[in-house]
């Protein structure tokens, strides 16, 4: 299972950074692999909130439905499961000196018959994750 953990710092307050990251409809603003991201229902974001994302995988557009499976102060986990792919993304936000640190922990796993291809998935996933983190770093560097 490919697994990547990266952190970025920002001058945003921890509350602002967490609120931004917990609304996964913002993913298209910073992750170049996300073509579209939409929050399914309005209202307060929390455990059970869902988001429809369209991601680009190997040149193809693929729909993925994410649900918040964990939501607590400073930490949110988004989970997407389909018959062929599982994605678990956890965002943690906290203070680091005078700045705010946002840590993105992403796990991706082929399921079913494609499970044997997980080692190959890791090769491509690293580049995708690096581009996403660069985009997140750029977005969180913008003034509040």
- Write the pLDDT tens digit of every residue in 23-44: 999 999 999 999 999 999 999 9
Count of Cβ atoms closer than 10 Å to residue 119 Cβ: 10
Q: In a 3-state reduction of DSSP, which class is residue 54?
A: strand
Q: How far apart (Å, rounded) are the C-alpha atoms in residues 75 and 29?
A: 20
pLDDT in tens, 80-117: 998 877 899 999 999 999 999 999 999 987 666 555 55
Percent share of the chain, pLDDT over 90: 69
Domain ranges of the chain: 3-141
Residue scoring higher pLDDT (85 or 12): 12
Sheet of 99-110: strand order equals 3-10, 99-110, 85-96, 75-81, 60-72, 50-57, 34-39
Q: How far apart (Å, rounded) are the C-alpha atoms in residues 54 and 62?
A: 5
Predicted local distance difference test score (pLDDT) of residue 127: 73
Predicted local distance difference test score (pLDDT) of residue 116: 58
Q: Which two tokens stand for residue 26?
A: 């913002």
> In the predicted model, what is the mean pLDDT of the chain?
89
Q: Which two tokens stand for residue 140?
A: 């969180």
Q: In a 3-state reduction of DSSP, which class is residue 6?
A: strand
Q: pTM here?
A: 0.89
Tokens 């990266």 correspond to what residue?
Answer: 6
* The CATH number of domain 3-141 is 3.30.360.10: no
């Amino acid at each position: 299972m490919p697994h990547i953990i990266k952190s970025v710092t920002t001058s945003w307050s921890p509350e602002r950074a967490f609120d931004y990251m917990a609304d996964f409809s913002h993913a298209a603003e910073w992750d170049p692999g996300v073509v579209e991201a939409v929050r399914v229902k309005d209202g307060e974001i929390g455990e059970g909130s869902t988001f429809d994302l369209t991601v680009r995988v190997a040149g193809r557009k693929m729909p993925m439905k994410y649900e918040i499976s964990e939501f607590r102060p400073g930490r949110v986990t988004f989970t997407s499961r389909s018959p062929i792919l599982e994605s678990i993304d956890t965002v943690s936000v906290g203070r680091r000196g005078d700045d705010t640190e946002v840590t993105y922990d992403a796990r991706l796993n082929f399921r079913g018959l494609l499970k044997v291809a997980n080692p190959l998935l890791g090769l491509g996933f690293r580049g995708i994750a690096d581009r996403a983190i660069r985009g997140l770093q750029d977005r969180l560097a913008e003034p509040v």
